[in-house]
Amino acid sequence: MFQQEYKRKLIDVYEAVNKIKSNDFIITGNVAAEPLTFMENMNILKDNGVENVTLINLLPLKNFDFYSNPSYIGVLNFESMFYSKFLSPVHKAGRITFTPNHLRNCGVDKMYYLDHNKKPLNIYVLAVTPMDKHGYFTSSSYGLFNRDVLKKADMVIVEINPNAPRTFGDTQIHINEVDYIFEGKGDIIYAPSKKVNDDDRKIGKYISELVNDGDTIQLGIGGIPTASAMELKDKKDLGIHTEMLNDGLVYLCKNGVVTNRKKNYFPDKIVTTFTLGSKETYDFIDDNVGVLHLDVKKANSPYVIAQNDNMVSVNTTLQIDLMGQCASEAVGTNQISGSGGQVDTAVGAKMSKNGRSIIALHSTAMIKTGDGKEKRRISTIVPVHEAGTIITMCRADVDFVVTENGIAALRGASLRERAKSLINIAHPDFRDELTEMAKRYNYI
């Protein structure tokens, strides 16, 4: 029965791309659900004279030529709800625009925008796992807002990827929900964690002091969260409720640290809304009923997160001022990434019984100067943020802040206490200057 329907809906990639018409709005899947074969053939649009197509994504993994090639101006417009590294220069060139959001609401808000402005969502295209005997595909490592988009889109096109991990949760898509199917090349883009350095390890050790046996944790991606995972290897009975399942968290699972027995929300299960990492991590989630990829409205709701007692969130920021305001997605007006689920998870952890939210960062960073050939070191703890800087997390939501120099506890602290605590974990070379500026601004 389902095989007959599959054959009836089966087309090739060229036919699939040709479904796009001028002025269409399109949303693509993300992480392992990014339709790479489809995207590789978008040049067909230019060849066919298609114009003014808007492509909406979140954390795309492949830097296709059309993002920066000026010959696509007038053909493709781009919107993103979270920038990958390669999209920041595209933003500077004026070729893409950013959609501010908290990750928990990214799909809901985008659907609201389209409805409110009477704009259609013409096509939803994503990569999926092969159909099972019951007629179901899965959106692989991508839960996020999959269900919201499926309901809204006029047309759903799926790219079959036999190498994508099959998952459980809100990732199931029945063939009755699909308009067209094509079989892709089977490419997968992996994103293994960065190597950790000595400062990452120091930060990880401080973070481990704030995590107890039996806690439920959320870790972001990058050197600091990876180092934190390594430092948690001697903990017991940890649970995972996270926005993103990654290499560090899977490391803890494989080393017997994670049991999920003491979680309140879906005990005995890992809860995430997407997975991004190495092949080993994708192999871990493949056909694993112990991992649930839930809709982001659920997984990232602070009220849902807070159902887990002893919830600990660990996120990173680019820069923090002496009041505790975190600039985690941009410095100045230069959009680098996005809010993601930082506020969702931090607020949810603080709402949890005995919960803790941790913001981590290196106390210094290297920036290019002049013509870009030289670099200088700056403090990432600043008296005030540069004009135009986007504040991702407001000062009232910040709890613990950790650098390689120690821990600052800001929850309930006055401005004077905050400034002193943050100066104490700043790099020693900048503490005198920060103290002077704190006095000037009447913080201390």
Ordered alpha helix ranges (H), 236-295: 247-254, 279-285
143: left (phi over 0), alpha (psi -120 to 50) or beta: alpha
Ordered alpha helix ranges (H), 52-129: 87-92, 106-116
Diameter of the chain measured on Cα atoms: 75
Whether 182 contacts 34, CB under 8 Å: no
Whether 158 contacts 173, CB under 8 Å: yes
Q: How many CB atoms lie within 10 A of CB 280?
A: 13
Whether 25 contacts 195, CB under 8 Å: no
* Beta bridge mates, 364: 379
Spatial distance between the Cα atoms of 77 and 99, rounded to a whole number of angstroms: 13
Spatial distance between the Cα atoms of 373 and 422, rounded to a whole number of angstroms: 31
Query: Of 34, 159, 231, 243, which one is the catalytic site residue?
Result: 243
Q: What is the DSSP letter of 369?
A: E
Whether 86 contacts 57, CB under 8 Å: no
Residue whose token pair is 């200088």:
376
Residue whose token pair is 């600052």:
408
> Catalytic annotation on 243?
yes
**Residue 30 has which token pair?**
């993300």
Spatial distance between the Cα atoms of 141 and 287, rounded to a whole number of angstroms: 11
Of 434, 320, 330, 340, the residue nearest 388 (C-alpha): 330
Residues labelled as active-site residues = 243
